[in-house]
Amino acid sequence: MGLSGLAIYKLLPKTNCKECGFPTCLAFAMKLAQKQVELSACPYVSEEAQAALAAASAPPIRLITVGSGDNKIEVGNETVMFRHEKTFFHPPGIFVRVKDTQPLAEVEETVTQVDGYLVERVGIDLSLNGIAVEHASGQADTFAACVEAVRGKTQRPLILIADDPAAMKAGLEKLNGSSPLLYAATADNWEAMAALAKEYKVPVVAYAPDGDLTALANLTEQIKGAGVEDIVLDPGTRGFADSLAALTQLRRLALKKNFRALGYPVITFPGEGADSEAEEVMLAGEHIAKYAGFIVLDHFDPATAYILLTMRLNIYTDPQKPIQVSPGIYEINGPGPDSPLLTTTNFSLTYFSVAGEVDGSAVPSWLLICDSEGMSVLTAWAAGNFDAEVIAKAVKTFGVESKINHHKIVIPGFVAVISGELEEELPGWEVRVGPREAVDIPAYLKNVWN
C-alpha cells in the first residue's frame, strides 16, 4: 500500500515555500498520495525522506520499454482510471502477428506492409508499432529463421511468442540485443523464461489462464523474485466481457489499491476472442479504451488500422490540451494578392478540415489562423477566443495587408454574428460570411467569392 497524504506530509520540509506549485506542503502531500504529482517537484526533500517516499512516488503501473532507438515503445506509468481525470500517457503498442509456419515470403510481405504503413491525421504521423512472431512450427531453427527474416524487414519492436525456452533463446540470438518482449512465462516454464529475460535484459509477459488474477499475481512475484523487474500481464481473458472485466480490475488494483504484484501493463490478443476480422477490430478498440498496453492483431488491413490508430490518438490526447496548429497566415495553392482570405481557429481538426477543403478546391487562397487556444469555432467564440478583436489582432500581427491588395475577409458561417463588430475593428474592410461547414468551402470559393 502507498503512504497516506498525512504520512507523506510528515516527511516533507513543512516550510510551505510553494516552489512545487502548491500553496502548502500538505496540499502537495495529498496530490503525491494520489499519484498526481512527482516527488521531484519538491526540491527540498531530504535523502532520508526520499527513500521513505519511494514507494509512494513510484508509478503504480511500471513503465515497460520494448525495442530500442527511435522505434522503441514505452507503455505503462498510467495514473488514472478515466482520461478526463487527467490524461492517459502512453498509447498501447499495436502489433501484427506472423507465424513461423507461414512461408517466409508471405511473412516478409506482411512485415513490409506493416512497417511501411504510415498515415497522417491532424498533422500527426500514425503508424503501427511492431510485429509479433509466433513459434507455431515446433522447431527452434524454423522460429529463429522466421525471427531473422522479420528483423531483416523491420527495425520496429518485436514480440517473440514461444512456450519453449529453447526456441525463445534461438529467436533472441537473432536480435542482437534489440530488446523484444518475450511471451510468455507460465506456471510451467517461468523459471526458464525469467532466466532468459534476465540474461538478455528484456521484458517478459506473465500469463495465467481464465482471468485468474491470484495466479497471475503469484506468478509475477515469482518472476520478480528471480530478478526480473520488467513484466507485462496476460490475464488469459479473450472475449469482450471477460477481458473488459479483467483489464478494469487490473487497473483498479494497481491504481486504487497500489497492488504492486499487478502493477504492470497488459497485453491482449483480440483476434483470439473474435469470430471475424470485424469483431477483432471492435475488440481491439475496446482494449485501446480499457486498458491494454500491447495489442496483438492477427490481421493487417490498412482500412481497419486507420480506425484503430485514430481511436488511439483520440483517447490518448490530453483532454486539457487540444491539438493545435500555430497561428499565422497559411498559403494554400500558391495564392497571390487577389486571392481570397479566409479565417478560422487553430484547433487542429478545424485547421485540417478547412485547409483540406481549400486545397481540394484548387483555388489559391490565404488562410488566417487565429490563436483561439486550440478551440473549435463555436467553442472559441463562446469563450471569447475567436471574436472580432482576436481576428483583427491576427490580421495585424501576421501582416495580412502586406500580402493582399483587397480588404475582404471570409469568416466561418457559425460566427456570422460577429461580422458587424469585425468591420468596426477593421475599418475599410468587407467581412463576408462563409459556409458553416468546411465541406461547403470549395463551392463557396468557386461560386460565391468570384
When the beta carbons of 16 and 139 are compared against ligand SF4, the nearer one is 16
Taking CB under 6 A as the rule, does residue 8 contact ligand SF4? Answer: no
**The three cell numbers locating residue 95:** 502489433
Closest by alpha carbon to 226, among 201, 190, 202?
190
Lateral strand order in the sheet of 204-207: 231-234, 204-207, 181-185, 158-161, 130-134, 93-99, 294-297, 267-268
Taking CB under 6 A as the rule, does residue 30 contact ligand SF4? Answer: no
**Residue 156 in 3-state DSSP?**
coil
Amino acid in the structure at residue 11: L
Among positions 19, 199, 277, 401, the unique one binding ligand SF4 when judged by CB under 6 A: 19
How far, in Å, CA of 343 to CA of 348, rounded?
Answer: 14
How far, in Å, CA of 185 to CA of 319, rounded?
Answer: 37
When the beta carbons of 13 and 227 are compared against ligand SF4, the nearer one is 13
Closest by alpha carbon to 198, among 229, 170, 177?
229
Task: Please tell me the count of residues contacting ligand SF4 according to CB under 6 A.
Answer: 13
- Cβ-count burial of 58 within 10 angstroms (0-12 exposed, 13-18 middle, 19+ buried)? middle
Among positions 4, 6, 10, 18, the unique one binding ligand SF4 when judged by CB under 6 A: 18
DSSP β-ladder status, 73-75 and 231-234: unpaired
Q: Which residues pair with 408 in a beta bridge?
A: 430
Among positions 16, 101, 127, 258, the unique one binding ligand SF4 when judged by CB under 6 A: 16
Taking CB under 6 A as the rule, does residue 25 contact ligand SF4? Answer: yes
Among positions 4, 6, 17, 177, the unique one binding ligand SF4 when judged by CB under 6 A: 17
When the beta carbons of 28 and 366 are compared against ligand SF4, the nearer one is 28
Taking CB under 6 A as the rule, does residue 28 contact ligand SF4? Answer: yes
Distances (CA, A) of 409 to 115, 339, 340, 351: 44, 11, 7, 17
Q: Residue 79 Cβ, how far from ligand SF4 at the closest point, in Å?
A: 19
When the beta carbons of 42 and 168 are compared against ligand SF4, the nearer one is 42
How far, in Å, CA of 318 to CA of 290, rounded?
Answer: 16
Give, as ranges, the residues between 388 and 427 that touch ligand SF4 (CB under 6 A): none
Among positions 10, 13, 152, 331, the unique one binding ligand SF4 when judged by CB under 6 A: 13
Taking CB under 6 A as the rule, does residue 56 contact ligand SF4? Answer: no
Taking CB under 6 A as the rule, does residue 11 contact ligand SF4? Answer: no
Give, as ranges, the residues between 97 and 116 that touch ligand SF4 (CB under 6 A): none
**The three cell numbers locating residue 276:** 471475424
Stretch that binds ligand SF4, among 12-20, 224-232, 241-249, 387-395 (CB under 6 A): 12-20
Q: Residue 260 Cβ, how far from ligand SF4 at the closest point, in Å?
A: 25
Give, as ranges, the residues between 360 and 389 that touch ligand SF4 (CB under 6 A): none
Stretch that binds ligand SF4, among 9-17, 137-145, 231-239, 418-426 (CB under 6 A): 9-17
Stretch that binds ligand SF4, among 19-27, 63-71, 257-265, 352-360 (CB under 6 A): 19-27
When the beta carbons of 13 and 116 are compared against ligand SF4, the nearer one is 13
When the beta carbons of 13 and 336 are compared against ligand SF4, the nearer one is 13
Amino acid in the structure at residue 47: E
DSSP β-ladder status, 341-345 and 328-332: unpaired
Taking CB under 6 A as the rule, does residue 9 contact ligand SF4? Answer: no
Q: CA angle at residue 393 from 391 to 397, to 5 degrees? A: 120
How far, in Å, CA of 444 to CA of 87, rounded?
Answer: 39
Residue with cell 506530509: 9
Residues at the contact surface with ligand SF4, assessed by CB under 6 A: 12-13, 15-20, 22, 25, 28, 42, 44
